[in-house]
Chain A
């Protein structure tokens, strides 16, 4: 597991220990039985890209971005990459974490072992990230195979997608500790859906009225979309450092809050 080794360079002193790896082992063992759930994640991007490429390309024609005309599919693909990174990690971090926290009491049994709450939080985040990264790789491969990558810089879409996954996974996990019942998941959906539709995923941000542009620029998904689109085009600017910084801060805040909330809930 690639992430298990990167955990060692992660600032583990503050957010858990090497033992976090055992949470990854646990999830691997559980999902060994349900591997087909993982496979569906690989097909999702293919379906998205095919439907957009075959269907909308012909209706919409080319889109002009950064003084360049690109196919609609090539325009939308990086946005969809960031969106799928968001959806995948949010679902994992909220639904699965909620289940283990409140329904299955998995973490309660882990708390009786040498693992600490920070180990559990870090391990679970790493799992989300491992899964998200695999999906992002497959998404990028599909993009490339369908001719939607526009420059060699497109390879940078991968770290961008992973950073987006991390930001949403850590924020989602923190949010899920506040949820009381399955009904509360409607709130999660309420946050995700508008972001999916409005974060300049489907058309350039310039199409929005000024006030809405400001709102969109403040959403976390927009940061990922803008970064991934820039990388795909091979066009870079200083604003992108801001986008990346936004996601890094969101990730750290999410991890700290998750650890704090886990401590409150698991060590009453």
Chain B
């Protein structure tokens, strides 16, 4: 286990000293006739871990590109680190770390050289980059393969190297666009663990994801996005409490359709959702509801009682699932 903190350790903050790092009002991004981001408001404070949860095409990446001062907003106001991206793009970017959806590493170069080169874009002296790079490769558990070509790395290692790269400038704000999309479960957990460590060290994180478990684990606060709009905002647990029941009973019947069964159990739950392959019953006590289902002579092929998640929140708010 690595015990040394990475070089981007933010200050310890008291909960009431909320310093706004990003503020957006009526933010809009259009590409021709298509509106990717449709007038959203949000504020991100120093030291918190802020998430954008939503399905593909919700406008998360467009929002990230605006926050990272790469793509200019079409309308609305945006302040990043107290400055206007329109006029201070390079100055703001000097203090941001970005982990884009596509790693875009220099595959011909070694892990160490990737960091050496990236540090130069930030005008850092070589000796300082070398010192930070050594620390960051340690932090991302790549030290042993520091001199190996990035081309030989697995998806998870590439992603970790991209995270190390984004930290080379000791950023005030770390932006991660879908940090674990495309990784296998083991690699995902390794990335989560590293991000959790950064978070506990007080680094401000902005994360987009369409995985509700990622959002629940990593985000202190999040917004749920759908079709370019924010449909809900709050802490993960608060959102679940506000928009869903404590438990969910999932019932699978045969191939002959769930429709008639939905009607038969409707009165047992606060709400029933019918998905192509299963019925979701939103209830306070799942086991009790399942007993009632059996008492009515209905015999589901399988039944599962679980806690409500952000997935249920999204389903409630939009009528659709997050991952198709």
Binding site for B on A (CB under 8 A): 17, 19, 22, 25-26, 29-30, 33, 104-106, 108-116, 266-268
Contact = CB atoms under 8 A, between A and B. Distances in A.
A268 B94 contact: no
Q: Which 9 A-B pairs have the closest CB atoms?
A: A113-B121, A112-B98, A109-B104, A114-B90, A105-B104, A114-B94, A22-B120, A114-B93, A22-B121
Contacts of B120: 22, 25-26
Contacts of B123: 19, 22, 114
Nearest to A106: B104
A106 B71 CA distance: 17
Interface residues of B, number: 31
Interface string B78-106: 00000000000111011010101010111
B109 A29 contact: yes
10 contacts: A19-B121, A105-B104, A108-B102, A109-B118, A112-B96, A114-B90, A114-B94, A114-B122, A116-B90, A267-B70
Nearest to A104: B104
Report which residue of A33, A105, A110, A112 has the largest number of chain B beta carbons within 10 angstroms of its beta carbon: A112
Contacts of A110: 121
A108 B100 contact: yes
A109 B119 CA distance: 12
A110 B121 CA distance: 8
A106 B109 CA distance: 13
A239 B91 CA distance: 47
B173 to A, nearest CB: 12
Given A29-B116, A110-B121, A113-B169, 20 more contacts: A22-B120, A25-B120, A26-B106, A29-B113, A30-B106, A33-B108, A104-B107, A105-B102, A105-B104, A108-B102, A109-B104, A112-B70, A113-B122, A114-B91, A114-B93, A114-B123, A116-B89, A116-B90, A268-B31, A268-B71
Contacts of A116: 89-90
A76 B113 CA distance: 44
B204 interface: no
A19 B93 CA distance: 13
Nearest to B90: A114
B68 interface: yes
B117 A26 contact: yes
B71 A109 contact: no
A112 B108 contact: no
A115 B104 contact: no
B258 interface: no
A22 B117 CA distance: 8
A30 B109 contact: yes
B72 interface: yes
Contacts of B96: 112
Nearest to A109: B104
Contacts of B130: none
Nearest to A266: B70
Nearest to A115: B121
B194 interface: no
A115 B90 contact: yes
A260 to B, nearest CB: 14
Contacts of B93: 112-114
B122 A112 contact: no
Contact of A29 (B65, B70, B117): B117
Contacts of A111: 70
A116 B70 CA distance: 9
A106 B121 CA distance: 13
Contacts of A17: 90
Interface string B259-295: 0000000000000000000000000000000000000
Nearest to B97: A112
Nearest to B70: A111
Nearest to A268: B71
Nearest to B166: A112
A108 B105 CA distance: 10
A106 B117 contact: no
A105 B117 CA distance: 16
Contacts of A29: 109, 113, 116-117
A112 B100 contact: yes
A111 B105 CA distance: 13
Given A30-B109, A104-B104, A108-B102, A113 B31 contact: no
Contacts of B102: 105, 108
Interface string B120-141: 1111000000000000000000
Given A19-B123, A267-B71, A113 B113 contact: no
B268 to A, nearest CB: 50
Nearest to A108: B104
A268 B61 CA distance: 12
Contact of B108 (A30, A266, A267, A268): A30
A113 B129 CA distance: 15
A44 B132 CA distance: 43
A109 B107 CA distance: 13
Nearest to A113: B121
B168 to A, nearest CB: 10
Nearest to B103: A109
B207 to A, nearest CB: 16
Nearest to B169: A113
A114 B113 CA distance: 19
Contacts of A22: 120-121, 123
A115 B89 CA distance: 9
A114 B95 CA distance: 9
